[in-house]
Amino acid sequence: MRVRSEKQAARGTSRQQVVRSKQREVRSGCTLSRISQLTSGFLLLASCLLPKATMAYEPGKFYYQKYFKPGEPREKVIALTFDDGPGPFTIPILELLKKHHIRATFFMEGSQIEGYPKIAKQVVDAGHEVGNHTYNHFDYHKVKNAAPERLIHELDQTEQSLERATGIHTKVVRMPHGYFNHTWLLPTLKEKGYALVHWSFGCDWMNKYQDQPGHWRVVETPEQKAEAYIHNAVPGGVFLFHDGGRHREKTLAAVTIVIETLEAKGYHFVAAEDLFKDSKP
């Protein structure tokens, strides 16, 4: 009888331990649930109190230079942008930008991303903005009745290449050869959620450019190219250079001179989205 009593007492003690354990789990669960509710409440309150992030671009809008509000100081800031990459010259350009603590914008071609996926990833990992420059750099100027279907296809191709190489998508476009069309281009980009970013000055791919009606300025050497950019520097401007393609030695040398000279004059360089985040086109 004594043995049975001890076994019964042991079973009773075991049941009591299970009950107490269950009670602790219930209390713990209630506490965690309450903490979760409080945390969610605080996060919701914080999201209401904190200022909302400003979208850099409005889909379907055309950007080429920062709009300064009346009375707003004209800050000496210029957006630095690079087209046609990625490519071998993207790497030294990234090193130059890192040296000067500059965040820039790279408008990439899908076909170039396919050829240099690791370099595309380097651009993203370095924190630079990336834009869509179509897949094959097709010249829409040469097509009399260019339609939006081809552009949509090329933009989608480039996004797929960009996602495979870097894991990101973009919502800003620069058209090849600066193409612009008043009938279908902006409505098509708006439908796809893209903004269009042009430039206020660029000449690194030229041997001369028309700086005023009837007058052409020679820009064959890196120094001549750099001088042209410096001459056309304005607060809120957008500079176009090229990191894609072969023989960009002159571009690399010119952009180095431009950065060093204009920084000494009080300018600083940013990505296009940083330039336009508070600007209305």
Give the domain CATH number at 103: 3.20.20.370
| Residue 189: exposure state from Cβ atoms within 10 A (0-12, 13-18, ≥19) | buried
Predicted local distance difference test score (pLDDT) of residue 19: 44
Mean pLDDT over residues 174-192, rounded? 94
170/108 same-domain check? yes
48/67 same-domain check? no
Range of the domain at 126: 62-276
270/194 same-domain check? yes
pLDDT range class, residue 14, cuts 50, 70, 90: very low
Q: In this predicted model, what pLDDT tens digit does every residue of 214-266 receive, in sequence order?
A: 899 999 999 999 999 999 999 999 999 999 988 899 999 999 999 999 999 99
33/69 same-domain check? no
CB 272 within 8 A of CB 78: no
CB 117 within 8 A of CB 90: no
Domain total of the chain: 2
- Only one residue has tokens 């820039």, namely 104
Predicted local distance difference test score (pLDDT) of residue 22: 45
Residue bearing the bigger pLDDT, 43 or 4: 4
Strands 105-108 and 129-132: parallel
Active-site residue, selected from the candidate residues 83, 84, 204, 243:
83
118/31 same-domain check? no
Predicted local distance difference test score (pLDDT) of residue 97: 98
36/144 same-domain check? no
pLDDT range class, residue 32, cuts 50, 70, 90: very low
Q: ∠ CA 95-96-100 to the nearest 5 degrees?
A: 115
85/30 same-domain check? no
Task: Decide if pLDDT at 158 tops 50.
Answer: yes
CB 146 within 8 A of CB 140: yes
Among 81, 94, 149, 137, which residue's Cα sits nearest to residue 112? 137
Residue bearing the bigger pLDDT, 232 or 37: 232
17/86 same-domain check? no
**Distance from C-alpha of 94 to C-alpha of 104, rounded to nearest angstrom:** 9
25/120 same-domain check? no
Q: Classify residue 17: in a domain, yes or no.
A: yes
Nearest-Å Rg of the Cα atoms of the chain is 29
Q: Classify residue 281: in a domain, yes or no.
A: no
Q: Classify residue 136: in a domain, yes or no.
A: yes
The CB-side HSE value for 243 (13 A sphere, CA atoms) comes to 33
24/127 same-domain check? no
**Distance from C-alpha of 83 to C-alpha of 65, rounded to nearest angstrom:** 17
| DSSP 8-state class, residue 195 | E
pLDDT range class, residue 143, cuts 50, 70, 90: confident
Predicted local distance difference test score (pLDDT) of residue 50: 37
4/132 same-domain check? no
140/252 same-domain check? yes
Query: Is 242 noted as a catalytic residue in this protein?
Result: yes
Percentage, residues of the chain above pLDDT 70: 80
Active-site residue, selected from the candidate residues 128, 133, 137, 242:
242
Which residues, in sequence order, are bridge partners of residue 241? 82
